[in-house]
Amino acid sequence: MKSSHIHPFQKSLLKWYNLNRRRLPWRDTSNPYYIWVSEVMLQQTQVNTVIPYYQKFIQKYPTIKDLADASLQEVLKSWEGLGYYSRARNLYKSANRIVKNLNGNMPETPDTFKKLPGVGNYIAAAVLSIAFQKPLAVVDGNVKRVLARMFQLKDPVNSSASHKVFQAKADTLLLTSLPDAFNQAMMELGAVICKPSHPMCKQCPVQKQCMAFKNGVTDKYPRRLSAKPVPEYHISTAVVRKHGRLLITQRQPESLLGGLWEFPGGKVKEREGPEKACIREVKEEVNLKIKVDFHLTHIRHAYTHFKIRMDVYMCTYISGKIKLNGPVAYKWVYPSKIKDYPFPKANHKFFPALFTALS
């Protein structure tokens, strides 16, 4: 895009945004902490899913201090179902550091902000531009798609090596006098007009500056590296009962789904049936001998980089004293107390079958 086209681009984009932007709860605030929470939630998660979580979260933790004063368990429970739990753990750790080292005040420079856990270029640019008008251009998936089409960029959007190309283009377009509105307008354009398939070019405010549109090749952009096949693992899970209570264990804090609770279990080995795997996993993880009573159900779940199919068994404790090997904590809980603990989505998928079996 010629430099003489940048000003008309900015003008048309902002005019469109001011007239068409969606009313979203985090757009009605200038509180940097609220904006930060919303941006963390919006990474990897759709707007409509985020809205109720965001509203409940800021109601429960209205200030950074309230978040820092909560327990990690409570915060994970508030995040339950939103996925990517490292986001919640990092937000919580960051809130504690802000309270301890910065008197509870949000950092206002990228250098200070990016020292906090989970704060990378995107979060820093989004929060600091929206909350503090810092001239930092955001580059998320929506913005990359717009830029790829606007400039016919051949660099794949899903390669970290090409990130700097997109960042450089975003930097040249940024309206530095209004970075908050400009950044949000770019993200909004990608979200509602320049969609992944079938971009709505007829309604696009920056159609005149778009090279892919001009050349009739919008369907050829953005480019992507072909995705690797996603592996699927067979998991066996044991719901172990003892005197009316169920055994749950807590995952290691820094692992995938760290800090969440689950029923013990693990991968089924080659040529090992899921029932045997269930007995072996319980022995290995918590040192208990159990017997399998019956197969409860079978569920499937997809994570970002792998999928699982899980067989769930109702089991009974036979003998042994708990020794943890993997989990960091355990509890014997009554079924009615299960809801007090944060569990991964895959476990929630078999809860209806579990509660029917226990009723």
Q: At its nearest, how many Å lie between ligand SF4 and the CB of residue 204?
A: 3
Concatenated DSSP letters of 47-81: HHHHHHHHHHHHHHS-SHHHHHHS-HHHHHHHHTT
Cβ distance to ligand SF4 smaller for residue 98 or 146: 146
When binding is defined by CB under 6 A, the residue of 98, 106, 150, 181 that contacts ligand SF4 is 150
Question: What is the closest distance, in whole angstroms, from the C-beta atom of residue 44 to ligand SF4 in the complex?
Answer: 23
Q: Which are the contacts of 164, defined by CB distance < 8 A and separation ≥ 6?
A: none
Choice from 37, 41, 128, 146 touching ligand SF4 (CB under 6 A): 146
Only one of the segments 11-19, 207-215, 305-313, 317-325 lies at the binding site for ligand SF4 (rule: CB under 6 A); that segment is: 207-215
**Smallest separation, CB 216 to ligand SF4 (Å):** 10
Nearest in space to 149 (alpha carbons), one of 242, 89, 215, 225? 215
Cβ partners under 8 Å of residue 29, min gap 6: 35
Does residue 1 interact with ligand SF4 by CB under 6 A?
A: no
Output 116 or 189, the one with its CB closest to ligand SF4: 189
Q: How many whole angstroms separate alpha carbon 296 and alpha carbon 280?
A: 18
Binding of ligand SF4 at residue 212 (CB under 6 A)?
Answer: yes
**Token pair listed for 168:** 């450089």
| Cα(266)–Cα(323) distance, integer angstroms | 17
Minimum gap (Å) between residue 207 Cβ and ligand SF4: 4
- The sign of the dihedral angle between the CA atoms of 253, 308, 226, 183 is negative
- Reported residue count of the chain is 359
Maximum distance among all Cα pairs of the chain, rounded to whole angstroms: 78
Work out which of 77, 149, 169, 251 binds ligand SF4, going by CB under 6 A.
149
Q: Which helix (H) or strand (E) holds 136?
A: none
**39 belongs to the catalytic site:** yes
Cβ-based nearer residue to ligand SF4, 181 or 212: 212
CB 334 within 8 A of CB 245: yes
Residues 177-206 that bind ligand SF4 (CB under 6 A): 193-194, 199-201, 204, 206
The yes or no reply on residue 213 touching ligand SF4 (CB under 6 A) is: yes
**CA-closest candidate to residue 1, choices 220, 225, 12:** 12
Q: In the bound complex, what is the minimum distance in angstroms from residue 206's beta carbon to ligand SF4? A: 6
Strands 232-242, 265-267: pairing kind: antiparallel
Residue placing its CB nearer to ligand SF4 in the complex, 38 or 218: 218
Q: Which of 296, 297, 275, 287 is nearest to 318 (CA)?
A: 287
The residue (of 80 and 188) whose beta carbon lies closer to ligand SF4 is 188
Smaller CB distance to ligand SF4: residue 43 or 207? 207
Rounded to a whole number of angstroms, the minimum distance from the CB of residue 240 to ligand SF4 is: 54
Report the site for ligand SF4 in 86-105 (rule: CB under 6 A).
none
Q: Would you tell me which residues interact with ligand SF4 (CB under 6 A)?
A: 146, 149-150, 193-194, 199-201, 204, 206-207, 210, 212-213, 218
Active-site annotation, residues: 39
